[in-house]
Structure 1
Amino acid sequence: MKKQHLEDLLKQMTIDEKIGQLSQLATPFFKGSTESGKITGPLEQLNISDDLVKNTGSVLGASGAKEIRNIQEQHLKDHRLSIPLLFMSDIIHGYETIFPVPLGIGSSWDIELAEKSAEIAAKESAVSGIHVTFAPMVDLVRDPRWGRVMESTGEDSYLNSEFAKAQVRGFQGEDLTKDLHRLAACVKHFAAYGAAEAGRDYNTVNMSERQLREIYLPAFQAALDAGSKLVMTSFNTVDGIPATGNKKLMRDILRDEWGFDGVTITDWGALKELIPHGVAEDESEAAYKAIQAGVDIEMMTTCYPDHLKNLIENKEVEEELLNDAVRRILQLKNELGLFENPYRGLSEENEEKVILNEEHRKVAKELAAKSCVLLQNNNNTLPINTSQKVALIGPFAENNDILGPWSWKGNKDIAVTLTKGIEKRLNNKNQFIVAKGSEIESITKEQLQNAISAAEQSDIIVLALGEHSDMSGEAGSRSNIKLPDAQLQLVDEIYQLGKPTVAVLFNGRPLDLHGVFDKTDAVLEAWFPGTEGGTAITEILYGDVNPSGKLSMSFPYSVGQVPVYYNHYNTGRPQGASDAQVRYVSQFLDIPNEPLFPFGYGLSYTTFSYQNMRLSAPGITPDDTLQVKITVKNTGKIAGDETVQLYVRDMVGEVVRPLKELKGFKKIHLKPQEEMDVTFELTEKQLRYYHSDLNYDSDNGKFEVYVGPNSKEVHTLSFTLTK
C-alpha cells in the first residue's frame, strides 16, 4: 500500500478506531482463538469491551497457522475498515526448535551462527503466522542475581552490539515485505533494565547519563542501525522516571536524536505501572505521560482506550500525537505486506515441513556445542575414553528441563537429555550407568546410596547439576547463586570416593561454583542448551567436538563481589599499588577482587600459545589505522577453535576509563602445531568515549592494547594517539 493510501485510511478512522490500534490484547479475547472466551483472573479484571476487541490493532501470544488464520478472518469481518491484526510473541531463542539461552549463545562468540539461529526461529514462527518477535533482548548485565541475565548475551557493550545486529538481521532479513519467512524484530528493554539494583527484577535503576550512553545504550543503537522495526520499553526507572513515561528517553533520545520512526510498545502492563511507581496519579495521567513520551502500543492494560479520547477532547493531548502513533503502526503492517496478504507466510501444510526439521535441529546442536564453556579440566579428565565405564549421576541426568524459561513453544518431551545423548553415542551399554542422586532441591538417603553404588562401579563420574528453569528468567532473582544444598551434598559425597569426576552444569546465570569446581576434576558449563542439548554435550564429553565457548559474563568468586565485571574502573587506591599500605587499598579482606572465571574465559582440549605481538606504528592520528598483530599457535595434539580477543585501555582520560575494553575478536581454527598471524585494526574512532559534558570524543595520549584468550591473560603493548 502506498504512503498516500495509508494517509487516506488514517483519515477514515474514528478516534476510537485509532486508539484501538494502540491496544494489544492477549489471545483469549479474540474470536477464532482456541482460548476464545477463557477470560479469568487478571484478564477478567481488565473489563475489555467487545468494541475494543474489534478495534484492537495487535494480538499477544497467538500461535499456529490455523488459529491465527481463524482470528484474522474473524477480525477482518468485524473491523469496519478491515485493518489486519499484528500477531506478536516472545520468540527469544527459538520457536519450537530451541537453541541455547541467549547467555549461552553469547558464550559461543559466533556471530554468524547466532544470526542463523534467529533466521530459523523466524522461519518457524512466520509459517505459524507470527509477525513480530519480542527479541532481541540487548540489556547489558553485570549482576547474576538477576534472573534475566539468561536472556542477555552478556556484560560487554561491544559484544552485545555485535549479537544485537546479528539477531536483527536473522529475524528480519533484507526485505520484510518480500521475505515471508522473516519476522519484525522488537529490541528490548529500553533502557538499562539490566542494571536493576540488587539484581531484583523490576527494581530501581540509578546511573549517570554518561554511563547510560556509554555502557547501556550502544547495543540498542546497534540493533536500530541494523533496522529493528520496534522498541519495547523497560519496566525500570531511568533517572527517576519509569521508561514507559520517560519523554527524554523515548522521545528526545530514541526518536529525535537517533531518528527512530518505528513502533514502540510497552512491556506487559508497564503503562499502568506508572501509578505504583508514583509518577501518575491515575490511569488518565499514565496515558497522558506515555503518549507524550512517544509510546505507541499499550500491552495488556487499558489506559489508552479508557482515557486517551477524553484527553484529546479536553485539549490536554493533541490528536496529532495519536495520529503519529497510528501512522507508525499502519506503516509496520504495510511493511509486512499485511494489507495485501493478511495471512502473510502462514501455512498449516508447511508447518509440518519447516518446524523442527533436521536442518534446524542440526544448527541447534552445533550452537549448543559452541555455547558450552569448559571451565576446568584438571589432569585432562576430559574427553572421556569410550573404554571408561561412566556413571551419570545427578538431577539433570534424565531431566528434560533443559530448554530454559523463555522457550515458549519448546517441547520438553522431545528435548534430548544427557542420558539419551550418551546412550546414542555408546555402542556398549555396559559402559554406562545412571543414577539420579538427588532432586534439584532435595535429596534422600536412597538416592544418595544409589548414586554412590553407581559411582563405585564406574571409572569416571559425570555429575549433571543445575537450576530448574523457574530459578532464572523473568522474576527469577536469587540472592544465593550457589547450587542448591542437596546437589552440593551429592557432590561432596561423590568427591569422597576419589574418582575422576566431571560436573556438567545446566543453568541460566553465572553461579558461585564453590563446592563444585573445588571437588571435581572438570567443569563444563552447558547453560540451558536447548532441544539438542544432550547430543551436543555428549559430543564434547567424548571428544567428538572440541569445546570452544568463552564466557560472555564473569563468574563471581562470591555473591559478595557482585557486581563483578571485567571492564571496571580503577580506584585511587588500587589493590597492589606499590605506594600504599597493604590494608588501605580497595579490596575485600576475605575474598579476592577478581572473579572466579573472567569474561572471555574458556578452555579447550588443545592448547594455544600467543607470541610476537607487534604494532604497525608507535602511534596513530585520526587519519591512521593501527594494525595489531600476534602469532597464535596450536601447541596441542588435536585441532581446535580459538577466540582471539583485543582490548584497549585509555591510560589518562578526561573521566576515569575502564581497565580494559573489548574492541574486537576473531575466531580461528588451527590444526595441531599450526600457527597463524591474527591481525586487528584500530582507529581513532574506536578510542572515543563520552566525556563529562557528554561530548563523544577521544583523548590525546597513551593507550595500552591487549591481546589474549580472555580478559585476564593478555599480551600488552603501548601506543599514543596524537590529534
Structure 2
Amino acid sequence: MQKFTPILVLCLIGFGFSNLSEKKYIQKDLPIDVRVENLLSQMTLEEKVAQMRMFHSGLGVGLNKRDSLAFSKGVKERLNYGIAGIKSPGDRYSPERAAELNNQLQEFVIKNNRLGIPAFFVTESYSGVDAHGCTQFGRPISLSSSWNTKLVKEVYDIIGREARYRGLHLTHSPEADIARDPRFGRMSETFGEDTHLVSEMIVSAVSGLQGDSLGLESTHIGAVTKHFAGYAQVSGGKNFASVEISPRTLIDEILPPFKAAVVEANTLGIMASHGDINGIASHANPELLTNILRNDWGFKGYVVSDANDVGRLHYFMKVAETPEDAVRLALVAGVDIDLYADDAYALLPKMVETEPALLEYIDQAVRRVLRTKFVLGLFDNPYTDVQKAKEMTRNDAAKALAKKADEESIILLKNENTLLPLNRNKKRTIALVGPVIDSKTKAAFEKIAGTDIDFIEEKGFNLTNGDGVTPILTPKSETLKGIQQIVDKAKQSDVIVLFVGDDKYTSKEAYFSGGLGDRDNIDPVGQQDDLLLALKKIGKPVIVALKHRRTLSINIIAAHADAVLDCWELSEFGDEAIAKILFGDVTPSGKLPVTVPRNIGQMPIHYSQKEINFKKSYLFSESTPLYAFGYGLSYTTFKYSNLQLSETKGNTTSTIKVSVEIKNTGTRSGKEVVQLYIKDIAGSVVRPMKELKGFKKIELEPGESQKISFAITPEMLKLTGLDMKQTVEPGQFEVQIGGASNDVLISSFNIEK
C-alpha cells in the first residue's frame, strides 16, 4: 500500500507552526462549525465557487499503465482552485485499483489547492455500488418486496462499506420517490407506490449507507436522497415531463419519505428533482429547498443539482431568461452544488462583480459543502486502505446477504394445484427457456437441484437489439423463429420454467439527449405472451419466472401459467434464489410493493387513492387490479383472528393499541408480512380508501401462533385539512390488519375532541 502523509502534517509544513492559530480548520479537536468558519474566512471567491461544482471522472481521470495518476488537460484545469467533488472515479477498475486511483487523486487535489481542501468522490447505488467488482444486490423495488427493513438496512450497510473501501464518500442514492406510473422507466430505482412503505425503506437505506451516521468519518458513506420532490409523478410517465401534484397530495403522500430521510435517518445530502411542482421548477423553489427542507425539517446537509439542471432552468424549463438568471434562481433557492455544468455556477465569479449581494448565498452554500467534508472526516482521514478494499469487497458475508435478500424478495403470485414446490427427488427433465434467461441460469439451477434433475435450456431470442440508448425490438419474424426453437426444446422436458418480462434495455432512464426508456403501455414487449401460449399447447406444466424493472400487465401469464414467481430484478445470484424457491428450500415470503393493473387504462390504480375513485368501473372490463398491493402467496397458510383494540374511543392525542393473532395453519414453516391499514371514514377533505400505517414480518413454524401488536398514534391519523395544516380530526376510523391490502380483518374506533 502506498503511504500518504496526513493532511495535518502537510498543512503544518506548508503554513508553519506559528500560523497554527490561524489555521483552526486543521485542528481535529475543534467543533466542526468553528473549523468551517475558519476555513471559509480564508477562501477567495474562486476557491469558494470551486467548492460549489462537481464534474464526472469520465472527462479524463484514471491510472496509466504504470498505475500512476493520469489526467486530461481539461481535468487538471478544473482542479486549480480545488473542487467540491468528482463523480465515479475508478468505477471501471477493480476495488483495489480504484482505491489506488482515489488515493492518488485525493493527494493531488489536496496538494494542488492553496488551502489543502480535499474533494469528495461520489457514486450511485441502484443495485450495490455502481462500480466494477462490488457486490450486486437486487434493485430497490425488489428489496422493498421483502418488506424486511432490517434486511434492507443490512444490504445498504454493505453498500456503504464497499464504497468507502474504494475511496468513495457519497452516493447519489437512495430514491425517496413514490412510483405509481409503470410507464416511467426508472420505476425499479424506487421502493414502490406507498408512502409508508417507501418511508420505512428509505430510513433503512440511509441509515445503512451511513452506518447510523456513526460511520461517516471512516467506514461508511453519506447518502444523497433524491429526487426532491415528486420526480416519479411525471406526466405520461415520461422523464423530464411536468409534474402535477396538488398541494395536499404533496404534503400527505410525496414529502414524508424525504422528511423521514432527513429527520429520522439524518441523510447527509439531498438532490433536487428534474421536475417542477405546479409550475415551479424544483431547482428554483425556495419554498421547497429552504423553507420546508431546512427551516421546517432542520436539514443541515447540502443540496446538489441533478445533472446540469441549474443551466436547464434557462435553456430547457425556460423559467430564466438568461444563464445568469438561472444561476441566481438556483443559488437563492438553496442549491449548493452544481453537478457537471460549465454554463451555470462557473459564471458566479463574474456575476459577483456586479451583484455583490450574491456573496451571502455563496458563503452559505460553501459552508454546507465544507461541513459535509468535515463530517466525512476528509480533512483528518482522506485516504483509504488499498489492501482492505481488495479483501473486504464482495466477500463471503456480502454475497450471502445478497442471496438472503433475493430469497425474501421473490413473490409467489400463483400456484395452481400446488404445483410448487417441485420434488427434487423425482427423476425428471426441466426446460429453462425464455428471452430473459441468463447465461448462468442453468449452472445456478444445477447447483441447487441435485443429481436427479436434468436441465435443458433455450433462450430463443432477445427482446431488443441491445442498444443502450434507444433499443429496437427484435423483428417479429426473428422472434417467431426463436419461439419455435423454444417449443421444440421444451417438448423434451417434463416441466417448463419460462423466463419472461423486461431486460435492462426495455425499462431504463430516459436521458436528456437521445436516449429513451419510458413506455406508453405496460404489456410484455414483443411476442412473450404468444410464447407462453405456444408452450401451454405442449401440455406440460409451465412455471413463469417474471424478471422485470417496471410493473407489467401480465393478464395472459396470470390466466395461463401454472405458477408465477415475481422476481423483479434480483442480485447477481438471483437464479439461485429462484431455484431454491422452486424446489422448496425456501418458502416464498415476498409481498407486492405496488398494485398490479390489468392494463394501462386503469392508471392510476394505487390502492390508497381517494375512496371516490373506486365508485365506478369501466365498460366491458373489470376495474379491480390483477394483483393487490401487499399480495403474495406462501407454501404454507396463515389464519388471522382475534383482532382487538385496547379501547374503542380516544382523543386527538391518544395512542390506541391493536393486536391480532396469526397462526401458521399449514405444514411448512414460513414468513408472513402482517400489514396494518387505517381508513378515515369521513374527513373535512376527501379521504383515501385506506393507508398502510405499519407492518411486521414474522416467521412461524407449522401450528405456531403469535400475537402481533401495533400502536395507533396520532401521527398515523393526521391529514392536511381545509386550512392546509396537518391535524387529527375527530371521527370514526377503521383499523384493518391482514396479509394483503384486500384481505384484512376490520374493527373500528372513534376519536373525540
- With normalisation by structure 1, the TM-score equals 0.92
Match of 1:680 among 690, 696, 710: 710
Name 1:77's counterpart in structure 2: 111
Distance 2:400 2:262 in 1: 30
Distance 1:49 1:281 in 2: 32
Correspondence 1:511 to 2:538: no
Match of 1:461 among 496, 511, 523: 496
Per the TM alignment, residue 591 of structure 1 is displaced from its structure 2 partner at its CA by 2.4
Match of 2:539 among 492, 495, 498: 498
Correspondence 1:610 to 2:649: no
Correspondence 1:230 to 2:230: no
Match of 1:561 among 581, 587, 602: 602
Per the TM alignment, residue 632 of structure 1 is displaced from its structure 2 partner at its CA by 1.3
Write the letter of the residue equivalent to 1:472: S
Per the TM alignment, residue 680 of structure 1 is displaced from its structure 2 partner at its CA by 1.6
**Superposition pairs of residues 378-457 of structure 1, within 5 angstroms:** 378-386=416-424, 387=426, 388-399=428-439, 417-428=440-451, 431-441=454-464, 442=474, 443-444=478-479, 447-457=482-492
Work out whether residues 288 and 317 of structure 1, in 8 Å CA contact, stay in contact via their aligned partners in 2: no
Match of 1:205 among 243, 247, 251: 243
Distance 2:86 2:63 in 1: 11
Distance 1:592 1:146 in 2: 24
**Superposition pairs of residues 560-579 of structure 1, within 5 angstroms:** 560-571=601-612, 574-575=614-615
Per the TM alignment, residue 465 of structure 1 is displaced from its structure 2 partner at its CA by 1.1
Work out whether residues 288 and 311 of structure 1, in 8 Å CA contact, stay in contact via their aligned partners in 2: no
Per the TM alignment, residue 29 of structure 1 is displaced from its structure 2 partner at its CA by 4.3
Per the TM alignment, residue 593 of structure 1 is displaced from its structure 2 partner at its CA by 2.0
Bigger Cα displacement from structure 2, 608-617 vs 279-288: 608-617
Distance 2:499 2:266 in 1: 41
Distance 1:178 1:454, change over 3 A: closer
Name 2:122's counterpart in structure 1: 88
Distance 1:71 1:29, change over 3 A: farther
SS of 1:6's partner is: helix
Distance 1:691 1:53, change over 3 A: farther
Write the letter of the residue equivalent to 1:242: A
Per the TM alignment, residue 206 of structure 1 is displaced from its structure 2 partner at its CA by 1.3
Distance 2:211 2:371 in 1: 18
Distance 1:465 1:329 in 2: 45
Correspondence 1:256 to 2:288: no
1:550-597 deviation per Cα after TM superposition (whole angstroms, max 9, x unaligned): 0111111111111210001122x853xxxxxxxxxx321132222111
Per the TM alignment, residue 612 of structure 1 is displaced from its structure 2 partner at its CA by 2.2
Name 1:62's counterpart in structure 2: 89
Work out whether residues 62 and 68 of structure 1, in 8 Å CA contact, stay in contact via their aligned partners in 2: yes
1:516-550 deviation per Cα after TM superposition (whole angstroms, max 9, x unaligned): 22121111011110111111111111110000000
Bigger Cα displacement from structure 2, 559-568 vs 110-119: 559-568
Distance 2:562 2:72 in 1: 53
Q: Which runs of 5+ in 2 are unaligned?
A: 1-27, 91-97, 465-473, 511-516
Match of 2:45 among 15, 18, 32: 15
Distance 1:317 1:495, change over 3 A: farther
Distance 1:507 1:135 in 2: 21
Match of 1:474 among 509, 520, 541: 509
Match of 2:389 among 351, 360, 381: 351
Write the letter of the residue equivalent to 2:493: S
Per the TM alignment, residue 429 of structure 1 is displaced from its structure 2 partner at its CA by 6.7
Per the TM alignment, residue 495 of structure 1 is displaced from its structure 2 partner at its CA by 1.2
Distance 1:420 1:590 in 2: 46
Distance 1:49 1:125 in 2: 25
Distance 1:652 1:174 in 2: 40
Work out whether residues 93 and 118 of structure 1, in 8 Å CA contact, stay in contact via their aligned partners in 2: no
Name 1:709's counterpart in structure 2: 739
Per the TM alignment, residue 92 of structure 1 is displaced from its structure 2 partner at its CA by 2.6
Write the letter of the residue equivalent to 1:617: E
Distance 1:33 1:693 in 2: 59
Per the TM alignment, residue 278 of structure 1 is displaced from its structure 2 partner at its CA by 1.1
Distance 1:283 1:166 in 2: 39
Per the TM alignment, residue 313 of structure 1 is displaced from its structure 2 partner at its CA by 2.1
Distance 1:666 1:177, change over 3 A: closer
Write the letter of the residue equivalent to 1:711: S
Distance 1:667 1:9, change over 3 A: same
Distance 2:610 2:46 in 1: 53
Distance 1:31 1:155 in 2: 39
Write the letter of the residue equivalent to 1:651: I
Distance 1:695 1:533, change over 3 A: same
Bigger Cα displacement from structure 2, 466-475 vs 199-208: 466-475
**Superposition pairs of residues 563-712 of structure 1, within 5 angstroms:** 563-571=604-612, 574-575=614-615, 586-712=616-742
1:385-417 deviation per Cα after TM superposition (whole angstroms, max 9, x unaligned): 111421111123334xxxxxxxxxxxxxxxxx3
1:327-385 deviation per Cα after TM superposition (whole angstroms, max 9, x unaligned): 11111111111111221xx2221122111111100000010111111111111111111
Name 1:122's counterpart in structure 2: 160
Distance 1:51 1:688, change over 3 A: closer
Write the letter of the residue equivalent to 1:424: K
Name 2:20's counterpart in structure 1: none
Per the TM alignment, residue 450 of structure 1 is displaced from its structure 2 partner at its CA by 3.3
SS of 1:254's partner is: helix
Distance 1:710 1:177 in 2: 37
Per the TM alignment, residue 54 of structure 1 is displaced from its structure 2 partner at its CA by 4.2
State percent identity of aligned pairs.
35
Number of aligned residues: 686
Write the letter of the residue equivalent to 1:59: I
Work out whether residues 22 and 56 of structure 1, in 8 Å CA contact, stay in contact via their aligned partners in 2: yes
Distance 2:593 2:216 in 1: 35
RMSD, aligned CA: 1.9
1:178-202 deviation per Cα after TM superposition (whole angstroms, max 9, x unaligned): 7522001111000000111111111
SS of 2:710's partner is: strand
Distance 1:137 1:454 in 2: 42
Work out whether residues 423 and 429 of structure 1, in 8 Å CA contact, stay in contact via their aligned partners in 2: no
Match of 2:304 among 261, 265, 272: 265
Work out whether residues 190 and 243 of structure 1, in 8 Å CA contact, stay in contact via their aligned partners in 2: yes
1:650-676 deviation per Cα after TM superposition (whole angstroms, max 9, x unaligned): 111010110101111111111112222
Distance 1:385 1:597 in 2: 28
Bigger Cα displacement from structure 2, 419-428 vs 239-248: 419-428
**Superposition pairs of residues 317-332 of structure 1, within 5 angstroms:** 317-332=357-372
Name 2:354's counterpart in structure 1: 314
- With normalisation by structure 2, the TM-score equals 0.88
